[in-house]
Amino acid sequence: MAKGLTKRQQEILDFVLEYVEGEGYPPSIREIGTRFEIGSLRGVTVHLDALERKGYISRSNTPRSIKLTHPKYTPGNSKVAMLPLVGSIAAGAPVLAEEDKEAMIPVPSDMVRNVDGAFLLRVKGDSMVGDGIMPRDLVVIRPQKTFHQSDVMAVRVGDEATIKRIHKSSGKVSLVSSNPAYEPFEVDPRETEVIGKVVGLFRDYEGMSF
């Protein structure tokens, strides 16, 4: 047992390490509670708070934000990449994509292998539900300026940003939803910037707030 840890704190720390090494990302608070039959989220966070105070982990106010910080408990290989969550992006009518980094989120490193500058955006709206992109999902963006026809891309139009499929024909650019409730709309290429391609997605099935 690590010095200064209770038996339960040690068990939770070991579980977090095993989970990260096995899955490539940390467990949620609910998963820890289920594993140790702790009936409330607060009951779990008491132990996590203690581990954080003692320097074994760090956390932010987002799901799966546990990061092992003690050298003895760092995973032996780099299965996790920490990507910045930089705001929200619309999957409906475009909204401003905030450029402020809100948190660092762990994702499987295989998802962004050899990718520089990848980041996460939170989805708002339901225009891409046909592609399985739901409101509140976190999408992984690979920065790039080029695209193939119908790629799902993060696109900035003026001062706003959205996720859509891009169609280009005869010099015209249209952004197309995968929800039939939304009509395609044409944009001015001179005022449109491709931010990057959607290469991954994370969903919180437990209804926790991002």
Note the pLDDT tens digit of each residue in 61-108: 777 888 888 877 766 545 667 788 887 777 766 555 555 567 777 777
| 164 carries an active-site annotation | yes
Catalytic residue, chosen from 65, 88, 127, 177, is 127
Task: Look at strands 119-124 and 80-90 and give their pairing.
Answer: parallel
Q: Answer whether 164's CB lies under 8 Å from 152's CB.
A: yes
CATH 3.10.530.10 for the 80-202 domain, yes or no: no
C-alpha distances out from residue 22 to 104, 106, 164, Å: 20, 14, 33
Q: Answer whether 124's CB lies under 8 Å from 178's CB.
A: no
Catalytic residue, chosen from 65, 67, 124, 164, is 164
Tell me, what DSSP letter sits at residue 95? B
What residue ranges do the domains of the chain occupy? 7-73, 80-202
pTM above 0.85, yes or no: no
What does pLDDT average to over the chain?
A: 83
- pLDDT tens digits for range 21-42: 777 788 999 999 999 999 899 9
Q: Which CATH class is domain 7-73?
A: mainly alpha
| 54 carries an active-site annotation | no
pLDDT of 183 reads 93
Burial class (CB in 10 A: 0-12, 13-18, 19+), 63: buried
Average the pLDDT over each of 1-10, 164-173, 186-195 and give the range with the smallest value: 1-10
Q: Which residues are within 8 A (CB) of 113 and not within 5 positions of it... i.e. 6 or more apart?
A: none
Portion of the chain with pLDDT greater than 70, in percent: 84
Place of tokens 């295989």: 110
- pLDDT tens digits for range 164-173: 999 988 888 9
pLDDT confidence band for 205 (50 / 70 / 90): low
pLDDT of 114 reads 66
pLDDT of 169 reads 86
